[in-house]
Amino acid sequence: METKILRVDRTNPDLTVLAEAAELLKSGELVAFPTETVYGLGANALDAEACSKIFQVKGRPQDNPLIVHVANRAIADTVIKSWNVFAEICMHFFWPGPLTLVLPKKTQVPATVTCGLETVAIRMPKHRVALALIELTGLPLAAPSANLSGKPSPTSADHVRQDLHGRIKLIIDAGNCQVGLESTVLDLTGKIPTILRPGGITREDLEKVLGEVRVDRPTENQAPKAPGMKYRHYAPNGEMLLVSGSKEEVVSRILKETQKAHGNLKKVGILCTSESAAWFHDLHPELLFVLGSENLPEEVAANLFRGLRLCDEQGIEVILAEGVEESGLGSAIMNRLQKAAGQKIIRL
Ligand code: AMP
Ligand code: MG
Axis-axis angle for helices 203-210, 85-94 (nearest 10): 120
Note the ligand closest to the C-alpha atom of 233.
2
Predicted TM-score of the model (pTM): 0.96
* 55 CA distance to ligand 1 middle (Å): 13
Residue 21 confidence (pLDDT): 98
Instruction: Tell me if residue 133 falls in helix, strand or coil.
Output: helix
Q: Which atom of ligand 1 is nearest to the CA of 105?
A: 19
Residue ranges and CATH numbers for the domains of the chain are 4-215 (3.90.870.10), 239-347 (3.40.50.11030)
Axis-axis angle for helices 297-313, 157-164 (nearest 10): 40
State if residue 339 touches ligand 1 by the CB under 6 angstroms criterion.
no
**Distance in angstroms (rounded) separating the CA atoms of residues 78 and 145:** 22
The contacts of residue 220 (CB under 8 Å, 6+ apart) are none
- Ligand 1, from 196, 216, 232, 234: best to mutate by most atoms within 8 Å of Cβ? 196
Instruction: Tell me if residue 57 falls in helix, strand or coil.
Output: helix
Note the ligand closest to the C-alpha atom of 114.
1
The predicted-structure confidence for 18-65, as pLDDT tens digits, reads as follows 999 999 999 999 999 999 999 999 999 999 999 999 999 999 999 999
- Ligand 1, from 33, 197, 216, 233: best to mutate by most atoms within 8 Å of Cβ? 197
Residue 225 confidence (pLDDT): 82
Give the percent of the chain with pLDDT over 90: 94
The predicted-structure confidence for 149-179, as pLDDT tens digits, reads as follows 999 999 999 999 999 999 999 999 999 999 9
CA dist list (Å): 169 to 23, 28, 143, 183: 12, 11, 15, 25
Return the closest-CA partner of residue 307 out of 257, 280, 262, 273.
273
Q: Whose C-alpha lies nearest to ligand 1, atom 3?
A: 144
Confidence grade of residue 343 (pLDDT, cut at 50, 70, 90): confident
Instruction: Tell me if residue 212 falls in helix, strand or coil.
Output: coil
**Distance in angstroms (rounded) separating the CA atoms of residues 160 and 40:** 9
pLDDT exceeds cutoff 90 at 303: yes
Residue 94 confidence (pLDDT): 98
End-to-end CA distance of the chain: 49
State if residue 114 touches ligand 1 by the CB under 6 angstroms criterion.
yes
State if residue 225 touches ligand 1 by the CB under 6 angstroms criterion.
yes
Contact between 199 and 37 (Cβ < 8 Å): yes
The contacts of residue 143 (CB under 8 Å, 6+ apart) are 33, 35, 40, 41, 42, 43, 66, 67, 68, 69
Residue 93 confidence (pLDDT): 98
Residue 304 confidence (pLDDT): 98
**Amino acid residing at 225:** K
The predicted-structure confidence for 222-239, as pLDDT tens digits, reads as follows 777 888 777 778 889 999
**Distance in angstroms (rounded) separating the CA atoms of residues 159 and 312:** 12
